[in-house]
Amino acid sequence: MLRIYDTRARQVEEIAPARALRMYTCGPTVYRYAHVGNLRTYLLSDLIRRVLERRRTRVVVCQNITDVGHLADDSDDGEDKVRRQAQAEGRSVRELARFYEDAFTKDTATLNLRPPEHTPRASETIDLMIELIAKLIEQGHAYAVPDGSVFFDVRTFPSYGEISGNRLDELKPAHRIETVDPRKRFHADWALWKPGEGELTWDAPWGRGFPGWHVECSAMSLRFLGPRVDLHTGGMDLRFPHHEDERAQSDSAAGQEVVRHWVHGEHLLFEGRKMAKSTGNVVLLSDVVAAGLDPLAVRLAFLEHRYRQQMNLTWDTLRAANRTVRRWRARVAAWSESPSAPMARDRVDRVEAAFDDDLDTPTALRILRELERDESVAPGAKLESFLHLDQVLGLDLSTEIGKTPVLPAGAGELLEARERARAAKDWAAADRLRDELAELGVRVSDTPEGQTWV
């Protein structure tokens, strides 16, 4: 079975669901386009799903859409990001949220990320949040204050901090906060409900307002996946406070440990810097396409690094990944012209073992490159192996099958002989074979990744 690093346990653990695996993924806050750094996080849950489904495990995924309640920072003050951006773009909050939700859905489809079974919107599940908040108040885990705010009483949850290591007795008020909020019983308490008026506010027993960001995921995961969630994914930046707060809320309401495994993906740098609007290096998927690159080059570039390693993505990296994707598609198309043969079982087993070993995609890709170059393996076996493993890789390696011109008789043997000559650095033989291929109408070009032909 799949073994993966559990952030809370701080060790690699086996994922062994009883029947179907229930996975919750923190979804996007839809007030701007998702950049490629955001999208890397969602590849994590897609890989988990594909690896488990390859083992015939049914996977049920819930991924929320945050379209209300996400403030400008993680304190209890600040302007809602969605509302602020709607004003800047001259749209209603609902129009803005739907526009960027659609853009996110298109980007994830372009990257071959499989859609979740449940994609609840925060704005359409307020009743679930109000019900959860009321239950937490009744249990003594939350308290309302006169202005209509409701806070979670974190000292009623002694194991707070097990995911991030930020223990209650070590927590200090944020550096931006000069004085502790007098409404709170303890400075680390957080708002479950905030008073407010206007667009995207609702009536609640404590007064009109809107939910805090953290309570959304608790309410949605408990409703759509139940009190036993096998696996919860998200970016490293969500460990604290979001996932700590979510765990405290969900476990307190359910009376048990709700999430069995917490899995987090590392940050992405671009050209050595954190991807941020302020630094001017935000790269969207549309920017990659505009540069003439296949969008799945982004997916391959991500696969070249393990999900829990910080990655420095560059334009050179993307161009190299683009060449590899295109070369593999051409190779698969060429191999499809040969007689079918059983998969190269030893190589396939090693790749699948790498997938199972904490999603070791770099090792999996290295083995695939070995298979590509191995002249002892029949082309038909390479074809079946690459197509089988593409169920996890998700690179659409079969798209050129039927589009590549059929090689003239004898050209395939000449191409293989030329590859051997280049590997041996016998340039005279390589040039002679290029001329022979040209006489057959096959034009050969050399690239850093190998020869190509048309």
Q: Which residues are annotated as a binding site for ATP?
A: 277
Is cis: bond before 116, omega within 30 of 0? Answer: no
Tokens encoding 221: 């995961």
Work out whether strand 311-313 and strand 273-274 pair parallel, antiparallel, or are unpaired. unpaired
Annotated binding site for Zn(2+): 26, 217, 242, 246
| 3-state DSSP assignment of residue 263 | strand
CB-side neighbour CA atoms (13 Å) of 374: 17
Q: Environment class of residue 320 by beta-carbon count within 10 Å: exposed (0-12), middle (13-18) or buried (19+)? A: middle
> Which has the closest alpha carbon to 397: 313, 299, 284?
299
> Which has the closest alpha carbon to 287: 265, 318, 324, 312?
318
DSSP 167: -
> Which has the closest alpha carbon to 125: 77, 196, 71, 62?
62
> Which has the closest alpha carbon to 129: 29, 217, 227?
217
Annotated binding site: 26, 217, 242, 246, 277
The dihedral built from the CA positions of residue 404, 399, 41 and 51, taken in this order, carries a sign that is negative
- Cα gap 168→188, rounded to integer Å: 8
Asked if 288 contacts 298 with a C-beta cutoff of 8 angstroms, the reply is: yes
Q: How far from the centroid of its chain's Cα atoms is residue 212's Cα?
A: 24
| 3-state DSSP assignment of residue 243 | helix
Identify residue 211 by its one-letter amino acid code. Answer: P
Q: Environment class of residue 289 by beta-carbon count within 10 Å: exposed (0-12), middle (13-18) or buried (19+)? A: middle
| 3-state DSSP assignment of residue 400 | coil
Asked if 347 contacts 340 with a C-beta cutoff of 8 angstroms, the reply is: no
